[in-house]
Structure 1
């Protein structure tokens, strides 16, 4: 039995889509299908109900999921053990990251150096919402993540702070608040806002800010991409709270940025990995490298 077939089986079971499973495993969709057929041939059973969309596991398929996870985990542990003994990192590093962090954390540069020093290490880098990354870390489907960790951090996870960036209020050149010498939270009541989704850490902070102030705001757009948020702000669709570096990109389009006089908003960038022996050698090495350049 090929361990890759088990990996591909798990990818389809966990993603629920041939497209997403193929993207996760960096292969074509036909490769996922071929792996499933080979695994079914080895086991002599059907693992998925034929012709169902989305793919639905048979009883045998459901029974295989926990065993397959343990097999893949054990297989990775073999490479990790050998890698530790020879000071080589091998196997897979599965990492999550949220958007627009490269200006704060030189992630690509550090990962590039690791790739040169450890050519047998393969990396899967996925851009995901913070809540989803935390969930995947807890269940062992991510080895580490760069995100804004909640406070207090979950006990099973270890958090290393990397950077902090101000969150600023941004608006189009024609918005009245752009001419104000200062802006407080109370100046924002009933304003139109363009905001990230509820599962983003910044959105949680914004909801808390307005709730604590007892104020309302009108959410006219909910967007999961900072670049699109900035474009909407520049077009006059509403105000937005943006990471400072993102807001700076809009100055040529007439976007202004201000800090609130009575509240401090920040976006923290943390490196998070499982605590203790659950952390892989590659994740621990990456944490050390990022902390050193932070």
Structure 2
């Protein structure tokens, strides 16, 4: 059974005459009669009966006409819905992000614009650690993730740069450096530090900080290590030392802490967009394109977009 069978049948039912219906459909009367007969054979029952020079619906035909007309009425709706989905204007998108990325004002701008551009897309957001986000992508629990570099090494995933930003020092407010407009690593060579540490090793940022100190002929004096940047700020507030954290976290307010930019242009942390390689979902493609087209300078203090 095809849509044309339904159209032919409904035309005959509405006109009550095969000849007039054939003229309206621009088909021959014999071809129309054959199509109606094929439809009745498939259904195993008569749908039409002759009355004088015209045709009327049988009881089964009346029921079938009602349902067939409903189907035909929905064809344009279904067509439009499919076209909208193909353009990524409808659908669902599950977005994962790490805790520190969720503080980025640039991401807030992207999400606001995404909702304005695609109001009929259902967005859902979750927060998790980077390793958990990678696993969620591979298991198709989420569609896209925003996390800090380095990118996952698996070939199943693809990544794009989103933005890069510098670090700030979270400094106890009683410290002499708390009044500075900016600090450098040279200012910190004799200071106890609270530094990031990965769950399975030092991590990329910790390694880069150590390398930067080594270029100064110094070694970082580590007072505390933590895999959580927000915990590092809490430790700084408690007086354990100066914490080095991404600049977006300067929006985290803690009593006893002030933030001071770290004037080290080589110490940048990158936020990347990660999705499954080859995922054809239009709504995903739209979102990734939006992330890449956004100018990070629109977000004060968010840093610059990675090249």
Which TM-score bucket, shorter chain as reference? 0.5 to 0.7
* CA-to-aligned-CA distance 1:194-231 (integer Å, 9 cap, x gap): x45625999531144326738354353636363x5434
Between the aligned partners of 1:85 and 1:255, the Cα distance in structure 2 is 48
TM normalised by structure 1 equals 0.55
Q: How does 1:83-232 map to 2 (within 5 A)?
A: 87=87, 89-99=89-99, 100-105=102-107, 106-116=109-119, 118=120, 121-150=121-150, 154-178=154-178, 183-184=184-185, 187-188=188-189, 191-193=192-194, 195-196=195-196, 198-199=198-199, 203-210=203-210, 213=214, 215=219, 217-220=221-224, 222=226, 224=228, 226=230, 229-232=232-235
The count of corresponding residues between Structure 1 and Structure 2 is: 207
**Match of residue 276 from structure 2:** 274
Pair member with larger Rg: 2
**Unmatched runs of 5 consecutive residues or more in structure 1:** 1-80
Question: Root-mean-square deviation (CA), in Å?
Answer: 3.9
**Unmatched runs of 5 consecutive residues or more in structure 2:** 1-80, 296-307
Between the aligned partners of 1:216 and 1:182, the Cα distance in structure 2 is 15
Between the aligned partners of 2:183 and 2:140, the Cα distance in structure 1 is 47
List structure 1 runs of 4+ shifted beyond 4 angstroms: 83-86, 88-91, 151-154, 176-182, 199-203, 248-254
Q: Is the 8 A contact 2:103 2:249 kept in 1?
A: no
Q: 1:92 to 1:199 in 2, by over 3 A?
A: farther
Between the aligned partners of 2:124 and 2:286, the Cα distance in structure 1 is 16
TM normalised by structure 2 equals 0.53
**TM-fit CA distance, 1:93:** 1.7
